[in-house]
Structure 1
């Protein structure tokens, strides 16, 4: 399993290979150590029955970086590249439409849609933590697709915590 996360100490992006075999995650920039909880990964053997640690397939139960148990499955594809493909297809079809070339316009639009479908079918999935955004490639777990309600819950929680941090500690009463 390969994970990519933001270091809680310095904020730099850290990538760790074979994270399921390590007792902790270490930031390559600042050296901050994040301990991995022993119950975060379950091992399953053939047929799905429980197996010993290090034997069988690792299955995530929760995030390795934060204590969140809510993760979602998504396609492991850069969103900016996907938007770039769609925008390029739209721009090219607008040019051909302005020149009144009907067949090339629709050929470009259908070609862009075909590229999108092919990428969707062949891109692997990864798991992403709602709370900290850690991505798990090559990991399995009992997690479903993106849920806007769960995302909004975690987004609002982060906004409240950031608001409290900006206010500062409560003032002590003066006698």
Structure 2
């Protein structure tokens, strides 16, 4: 794949195909349980919980496949051939912000066009 099939842009990025909310939940739960052990002055179980959380994170990182995402239309491509030869890189904030501004401007123009075509208030 060289470009997005929907909008034909060649600006795409890769990320792990894993729900960010679930990943955050794993970290928060591990931190909370570890904090309870620290409060109870039990450092060894606290470290074990932190280590287990880190181990779970590492296992998920290597087991979960990548997804290729279009910056412009946010189309997602999975499976073999979505990032041949490692062509697409991780998310770049500068490119992402450029396309976010483009989407905001298009929405603003769409709203202005809709209000220009609507009948005047009575």
TM-score under structure 2 normalisation? 0.83
Deviation for aligned residue 1:109:
0.9
Judging by fraction of residues, say which structure has more helix. Answer: 2
Structure 1 unpaired stretches of 5+: 1-59
Equivalents in 2 of 1:99, 1:62: separation in Å?
55
- Classify 1:115/1:166 alpha carbon distance in 2 versus 1 (closer, same or farther; 3 Å): same
* 2:19 corresponds to: 78
Equivalents in 2 of 1:150, 1:97: separation in Å?
42
- The answer to whether structure 1 residue 152 and structure 2 residue 97 are counterparts is yes
* 1:163 corresponds to: 108
Deviation for aligned residue 1:168:
2.6
* 2:59 corresponds to: 118
- The answer to whether structure 1 residue 69 and structure 2 residue 14 are counterparts is no
Judging by fraction of residues, say which structure has more strand. Answer: 1
Q: Which shows bigger deviation, 132-141 or 86-95?
A: 132-141
* 1:134 corresponds to: 75
Higher relative contact order (CA 8 A, sep 6+): 2
Equivalents in 1 of 2:37, 2:72: separation in Å?
44
Point out 4+ residue stretches in structure 1 off by more than 6 angstroms: none
Aligned length: 112
TM-score under structure 1 normalisation? 0.59
Deviation for aligned residue 1:67:
2.3
Structure 2 unpaired stretches of 5+: 117-122
